[in-house]
Amino acid sequence: MVKNLKRSGLTKENINCAPVMEVVDLSTSFLTAAGEIKAVREVSFSLFAGQVLAVVGESGCGKSVTARSLLRLIDPPGYIKNGWVLLNGVNLLNLTEGEMRRLRGTEISMVFQDPMTSFDPVYTVGRQFTEALMAHEKISQQEAKQQALQMLSKVSLQDLERVFNSYPFQLSGGMRQRVMIAIALAMKPKVLIADEPTTALDVTVQSGILAELKRLNKETGSALLLITHDLGVVAELADRVAIMYAGRIVEIGSVYDIFDHAQHPYTRALLTSINPIQEDGGLTAIPGQPPDMANVPPGCPFSPRCPEALRQCRQKEPEQYIIAGEHWVSCWRAESEERKISGA
């Protein structure tokens, strides 16, 4: 499916370089009347400069909670229970709220699905852009405007003065999202998190914006965490892919590993479910439902839906096994002593 291995961006050189961000055993829960919702459970992954890690999984599996946990934007009744979020070796979970505020928007930025919520409706986008730049760097108003216009041109906007002087509601959804990406990347963040950045937009607009995002991400050297439902987008943009199910990463690997050598039955089911047209002309959905997150069954949470489940799958959560290099899976079917990740 992925014709060119090079497109995965993984080479012997960069796979060994130090990650910009390392997330280790991150767990986030919500304490609700229905009980503890373990939205994110012992999630670990790394982000590398200039590369895209796509996070994929069905609705409610914990993608957004993972992203918000990296920025420590979890409101009660939610809380980060455990883990490390290391940005260049510093654990963000140990910083004060003030220190964390200074990092948001500068070292780590986030682009949301609906940029309307990120803009202040009463100021022009130009004013919001220049204020963000001036808070970040000691530059004059004029210099900030120049930088803003230059960044707006990089996200392929035209009629830049008009865009600059517009209020958010005067721009189309696609234009607002381009401005948001321009603002986020103007700060040259080390990590950019994009949570379904284009799902609210027209399909034709989506691919242009995503291509822009990928190009600018490479240019600025930011590490991009891209959350998406769309495996077509993943195949186009991602270097590596993390598959989430019921709060856990069940498989992670290069885009090549995931598309051509998927190990987890859930990953394979997801890949089949997007196979555009089946013989009967319809889409295959994965049979069954994801578990109730307040009541995740024992064993592998996918086992009730898994066509390959063994008896032990319903009893004990699987360990993690290395398939090759950076490709690992959490599935009893891959069990082998040599492949076991220590401490998993």
Ligand X SMILES: Nc1ncnc2c1ncn2[C@@H]1O[C@H](COP(=O)(O)OP(=O)(O)OP(=O)(O)O)[C@@H](O)[C@H]1O
Instruction: Record the tokens describing residue 159, joined without a space.
Output: 């009629």
Tell whether residue 293 is a contact of ligand X (CB under 6 A): yes
Is residue 334 a contact point for ligand X (CB under 6 A)?
no
Among 9, 62, 174, 253, binds ligand X (CB under 6 A): 62
Q: Which pair of tokens denotes residue 141?
A: 């108003």
- The least CB distance from residue 32 to Mg ion, in Å, is 18
Candidate list 27, 28, 64, 66; residue touching Mg ion; CB under 5 A: 64
Which residue minimizes CB distance to Mg ion? 64
- Pick from 2, 22, 24, 60 the residue near ligand X by CB under 6 A: 60
32 contacts which partner out of Mg ion, ligand X, none, CB within 5 to 8 A by kind? ligand X
d(CA 126, CA 161): 9
CB burial of residue 236 (10 Å; 0-12, 13-18, 19+):
middle
> Which residue, 182 or 251, has its beta carbon nearer to ligand X?
251
Contact 213, 220 (CB under 8 A): no
Looking at 20, 52, 61, 149, which residue binds ligand X (CB under 6 A)?
Answer: 61
Any contact of residue 16 with ligand X (CB under 6 A)? no
Cα 231 from Cα 23, distance rounded (Å)? 23
User: Which one among 65, 186, 234, 269 touches ligand X, defined by CB under 6 A?
Assistant: 65
Identify the CA nearest to 249 among candidates 230, 234, 263, 235: 263
Among the candidate windows 35-43, 58-66, 138-146, 305-313, which touches Mg ion by CB under 5 A? 58-66
Q: Which residues contact 240 (CB under 8 A, 6 or more apart)?
A: 8, 10, 51, 52, 53, 54, 252, 253, 254, 255, 326
d(CA 186, CA 334): 44
Question: Which residues ranging from 78 to 137 are in contact with ligand X (CB under 6 A)?
Answer: 78
> CB of 296: closest distance to ligand X in angstroms?
10
The interface region with ligand X, picked from 14-22, 54-62, 88-96, 297-305 by CB under 6 A, is 54-62
Does 28 interact with Mg ion (rule: CB under 5 A)?
no
Count, in order, helices (H) and strands (E) of the chain: 11, 12
Single-letter amino acid, residue 54: A
Question: Interface with ligand X includes 30 (CB under 6 A)?
Answer: yes
CB 99 within 8 A of CB 159: no
Binding site residues, ligand X, CB under 6 A? 30, 32, 37, 39, 57, 59-65, 78, 293
